[in-house]
Structure 1
Amino acid sequence: MISLPLFTALALMTAVAALAVLWPLSRARTMKATREADLAVYRDQLAELARDAKSGRLPAAEAEAARIEVARRMLAADAAADAASASADPAGAGRRRRAAAIVALVFVPVCAAAFYAVMGSPGIPGAPLAERLSATPDRSDVAILVRRVEEHLQKNPNDGQGYEILAPIYLRLGRPEDSARAYGEAIRILGPTAERLSARGDALVVAADGLVTADAAKAFAAALALNPAEPRAAYFLGLAAEQDGRTQDAARIWGDLLARTPASAPYRPVVAEALARVGGTVPPATASPATPGPGAADVNAAAQMSPQDRNAMIRGMVDRLAARLDKEPNDIDGWERLIRAYGVLGDKDKADAALKTARAAFKDDPAALARLDAAEKALPTGGKG
């Protein structure tokens, strides 16, 4: 509910605003004051004409004509003021002023209060910012979560993980400059990786409305130096070449990227379109290499074995798959199989650990994250245990 002090303050503010509007209406305009002001102006004009005629700056004939014109205007203004004063209705004007005051002071606030009672939510309790920050926030309240992390980083400026968590959130909130700064802090504290450098370059491109700036190109080049297979860095360096007018370089970069891009890669259509835009030849898509590890057929076959043989077979394949993903974490299909296999084995802790590692590897890939969420929901315990 609205507290009494707040309601009182709002009422006082409304009253002050209404009085500021009504105050000029509370005083009747006097036609006499208006007429005297006009006559004073005309008298000044006559005095100035006399000075100009006396000094010789204005010929006598012109001065006389000007005096006649000013005198005519004085008589017309005096006659108009008398007519307006005669036709004025002081009583009617007073009634109109009182009606306007009643409408402003009573009718408008009452209508506003009634409208709020019907359309608003007066029953919702107040939520001061201090209380919201101190309470456990709802996961949907992103602003509070961001504020919490920002306050933590103010007290712990060398927490690189905090910056790395905050950077992609900034980008999703439409704050690319802050995202690039946070990625820069994460790189400074935790060290450069191809993923961090590419993410920082991406944020700089978004901040520049799609232009690959010099700082962004530098970040992408550094990312490729650490990992020549980093696709995002290669794509944006090709875009930088196109924006600089170096279409042949752009075609070469994008062609090389497509040549090593699997057909199932979600970014392949974007790169293919860019390559076609600069006149390059799009190479045919190659099928993704088979991913070793337990598939659906393996799991079904294992179900027909004895418990000991089944566990031994599945664990052997799972261990090989986990070892490969540890070296090659950018395989979303492999992570899905590994998580599903841990679910078959009933190993909740390893399934949760695999989900956490996979989400960190694909933190900037919404499609991959959605697939991981689906894999978690498909676990026998729903991934929650």
Structure 2
Amino acid sequence: MLLWTAFALMTGAAILAVLWPLRVQREDRLAGDAEADLAVYRDQLAEIERDRASGLIGTSEGDAARTEVARRMLRAAERSGEATHPSDTRRRAAAVLALIGVPLLAGALYLNLGSPTYEGQPLAARLDAQPGEADVAILVRKVEAHLEANPDDGRGHEVIAPVYFRSGRYDDAARAWSNAIRLLGDSAAREGGLGEALVAANGGVVTAAAKAAFDRAVALDPMAVRARYYLGLAAEQDGRKDEAAAIWGKLAADAPPGAPWLPTVQEALARVKPASGPNPSEVAAAQNMSEADRAAMVRSMVDGLASRLAQQGGGIDEWLRLVRAWSVLGEGEKAKAAAGDARKQFAQDSAALARIDELTRQLGLGS
């Protein structure tokens, strides 16, 4: 109602601005000129009467003069009427056009271009809207306003913490997770969220506080993927690559088929895993071995590769090397089993699967 009242006042002001210049027009000046002429003619009649009374003109001459002046006065009066009435008509037409035409034109444009049936959207209504219907910034402000009034609402802190993190507000995210833990208690998800926010706030460095949060998360849930990954990263950043390889290898081995985070773990594992194959001293020693000892050494190496891949995972080249090694050693069933494990490991990698299929075909291992 208030909005329409404002619209009405604005329309009235616009109409007034249009009508105001029409109040004085040229015909008003013409009417004023006619009145001036009539005043002159009246003075002439008075002068004629004086002249006739003083004998300066005769009666017939005076009557003729009076008749001529009267005729002029009539013409002036007619001009005055003609100037007044058309002016009134034009003013009325302009007023009607302004009072009716302008609102009608504005209404027609609004109906055509506007949204007259759309309900109003005050801020309070938008704040009460469902999350899928509201802007993220409004949701954040809504939760922040709620937490300002209810600072001990742990659930509110838990809800806004990941939103802060996705928005790049890492310090706020860490603070929100800390409040959620303080008010709601420990959980692997909350401790993991706190640790991840601390890592992001420190440019990717796993600080002591972040590592402590990840340790608590793993203590609460030994299968917590996020915490285990960052504990491996902490070991790598501290120079303990063997420990990092062991953590990430176990994480890769525990991954369900098609886990979206598995490629990230495999990439990290490739950075820290020790190189496979014999070292120079082992190669030199193998040259002096008997065929049986040399075969035993090769089998030991293949067993070690198989054990490491089962525990820590590895790249596609290592899996293919294992399949080929078992096949060369005459262990066809173990080669098939290794190929099956490799397919599970790379279930979402079509290129890797194609390489596995090609190798098993070449080695005659079947499907």
TM-score (normalised: structure 2): 0.41
TM-score (normalised: structure 1): 0.39
Q: Report which of the two structures shows the higher radius of gyration computed on alpha carbons.
A: 2
| Structure holding more helix per residue | 2
